[in-house]
Amino acid sequence: MTLPPAPPRRPQVRCFSTLDLLAALRALPEALRESHARTGRRPLVLIDGLTSHAAADRATRMGREPGTTLTQSRVQEALSRSVQRIAKHEHAAVVVTTTSPGRVNEGGAVSPAVSWAFRAPLLACWRGTVTARLMLQPSPRSGDAGVLLARFLQPEAPEVHAFRVDAAGAVVPV
Amino acid sequence: MEICGILQSGKTSVVSNLSVAAITGQEPRDVFLVDADGRFDPLLVMQLLQADDASEDYFETPEVQEILERFHLVGLAG
């Protein structure tokens, strides 16, 4: 007798600090291996808010106490290695979201207009980890309330896509 | 892949929709959500999955197919 295939699963981990996030990522490979062996398909890992706790880490002076080995850069390196391991060795597709410091123009200053100049919110250790980058921002035009804009910066594409998020949370093109 | 944007630029909504597309797509797959932001509302995903207009037909509508294709969401899941 053959059992029907199990329906897809959606495990969720909620993190409340950078170290929570690191622990979650370090715990994922076994679950990903099990998923791939069970379904034969690449699981998808979505990491929402990768940079969410950076400000708190700075505010709490993580790693600035004398003699500590738990520095911000070392934790970021460990996070980067964990994400690369998941992508390369565990057959998973990985998507992360990061929060940009704001619209920037070519000179790096904050701009009120649409600009696709990119100021990386991730530390240098993440360079080489990202294989594709989608940039989002609200439309600055006064008549475009609620309209969001998206453009691929890597690989670079000139098209700008406008969309809204409806009341149900669905992404709807405009 | 990195989805980068300023606050309130739709990042969480895009990954929520990506999550739903991966689960209900032609080749459904496991999705592992790691929420460091506190904004990824599981109720939102359930709402998208269970809303009256989010039945199987919902993902076959031209509007949803178009946005999935425009953002390469289905392709990225693979």
Query: What does residue A89 show for φ and ψ, rounded to 5 degrees?
Result: -110, -15
* Residue B2 forms part of a structural domain: no
Nearest to A135 by CA among A121, A145, A124, A146: A121
Question: Does residue A15 lie within any of the structural domains?
Answer: yes
Query: Per the domain annotation, does A59 fall within a domain?
Result: yes
Residue owning tokens 């946005």: B67
Q: Which amino acid is at A92?
A: A
Indicate the pairing of strand A161-165 with strand A148-154.
antiparallel
Global pTM? Answer: 0.77
Q: Count how many domains chain B has.
A: 1
Task: Judge: A96–B2 Cβ closer than 8 Å, yes or no.
Answer: yes
**In chain A, how many domains are there?**
1
3-class SS at A97?
A: strand
Token code pair at residue B36: 């460091």
C-alpha closest to that of B2 among A133, A135, A154, A121: A133
pLDDT digits (tens, 9 = 90+) for A4-22: 666 777 888 888 888 888 8
pLDDT at A106: 52
What span, in angstroms and rounded, lies between the C-alpha atoms of A129 and A85?
10
CA distance A107 to B74: 35
Instruction: Specify if A130 maps to a domain.
Output: no
3-state helix, strand, coil in chain B (%, to 5): 60, 10, 30
Residue B51, in any domain of the structure? yes
ipTM of this predicted structure: 0.83
**Is A50 a member of any domain?**
yes
Residues of B in contact with A48 (CB under 8 A): 11-12, 15, 33-37, 39-40
Tell me, yes or no, whether A137 lies in a domain: no
Domain-located, residue A62: yes
Q: pLDDT for A69-109, tens place per residue?
A: 667 778 888 899 999 999 888 889 999 999 887 665 555 55
Structure tokens at A133: 């980058």
Provide the percentage of residues in chain B whose pLDDT is more than 70: 46
> Does B38 fall in a domain?
yes
Model pLDDT, residue B46: 52
| Structural domain harbouring A13 | 1-99
Beta-carbon contacts below 8 Å between A and B = 214
Chain A residues touching residue B62 (CB < 8 angstroms)? none
Q: Which residues, 6 or more positions from A109, have their beta carbon under 8 angstroms from its beta carbon?
A: none
CA distance A79 to B66: 34
Q: Is residue B29 part of a domain?
A: yes
Enumerate residues 15 to 54 of chain B having a beta carbon within 8 A of any beta carbon in chain A. Answer: 15-19, 22-23, 27-40, 42, 44-45, 47-48, 51, 53-54
pLDDT of residue A46: 93
Burial class for A134, CB neighbours closer than 10 Å (0-12, 13-18, 19+): buried
Instruction: Tell me if A2 is assigned to some domain.
Output: yes
Cα–Cα distances in angstroms (integers) from residue A2 to residues A6, A168, B10, in the given order: 12, 38, 43
Answer yes or no: is pLDDT of B44 > 80. no
Residue span of the structural domain in which B18 resides: 11-77
